[in-house]
Amino acid sequence: MENKTRLSFADSAKAPRHCEINPAHRILVVDDEDEIRRINTIILRDAGYNVESATDGAAAWDALQLNHYDLLLTDNNMPKMTGLELIENLHAAHIRLPVIMVTGNLPPHTPGQATLIEAVLLKPYSADELLARVRNVLQATESDAKSNMSPPSETANIGNGLRL
C-alpha cells in the first residue's frame, strides 16, 4: 500500500510548540501504519495535547475501556477491527466521543453512521490541516457541551453530523 500522507518530521518541527487550547485534552490516535501514527502523535503532543496511540481498532477498543479521551483520531482500513467497527462499538456502548476519521478514501456507510463522525481528514494532509481539524472538533464539542448546560439561544448551533 502506497503511503500518500504528506506528513513528515519537517512538518512536525513546524507545528506550534504550545497549545492554543486546553492542554488537558486527551486524544487517542489509531492507525496501523507506524509512521503515520508516530507523526500524528508527535504533531499533537508538540501542540500540547495529551496523546496515546493504538495500532488498530481492537487495541483502541481496549484502551477506550480503560481510559477517558476527549477525541478519537482513527484510520478506517485496519486489521482486526476497522475504524467504522470501532465507532460502531462506541455507539453501541453509549460512549460519546468525538471522532475524526483519517483515511485515504471515504468508507461506505449506512444511514446514521455519518452522525457518529464529527469530521473527516483525507490523506494526504499537512500538519496544519491535522491541527486545525482537531482544534475545530474539540471547540465544537466544548461549545455543544456548554450549550447543553445553558438555556438555548436563538443562535444555538443545532446538530453535529459529518463535517468536511
Q: Tell me: the pLDDT tens digits for 120-157?
A: 999 999 999 999 999 999 999 887 766 665 444 443 33
55 — phi, psi (to 5°)?
-85, -15
Percent of the chain with pLDDT over 70: 68
Burial of 5 (0-12, 13-18, 19+ CB in 10 A): buried
Superfamily designation of domain 19-147? Response regulator (3.40.50.2300)
- Mean pLDDT check: name the lowest of 15-24, 42-51, 98-107: 15-24
| 132 Rama class: left (phi>0) / alpha (psi -120 to 50) / beta | alpha
Whether 13 has a pLDDT exceeding 50, the answer reads no
Q: Is 119 helix (H, G, I), strand (E, B) or coil?
A: strand
Q: What is the arithmetic mean of pLDDT over 108-119?
A: 67
Neighbours of 127 (CB within 10 A): 25
pLDDT score of 147: 63
Looking at every residue in the chain, the average pLDDT score rounds to 79
Instruction: Convert the pLDDT of each residue in 20-35 to its tens digit.
Output: 444 579 999 999 999 9
Confidence band for 83, pLDDT divided at 50, 70 and 90: very high
pTM to 2 decimals?
A: 0.76
Sheet holding 50-54, edge to edge: 50-54, 26-30, 71-74, 99-103, 119-122
C-alpha cell at 137: 472538533
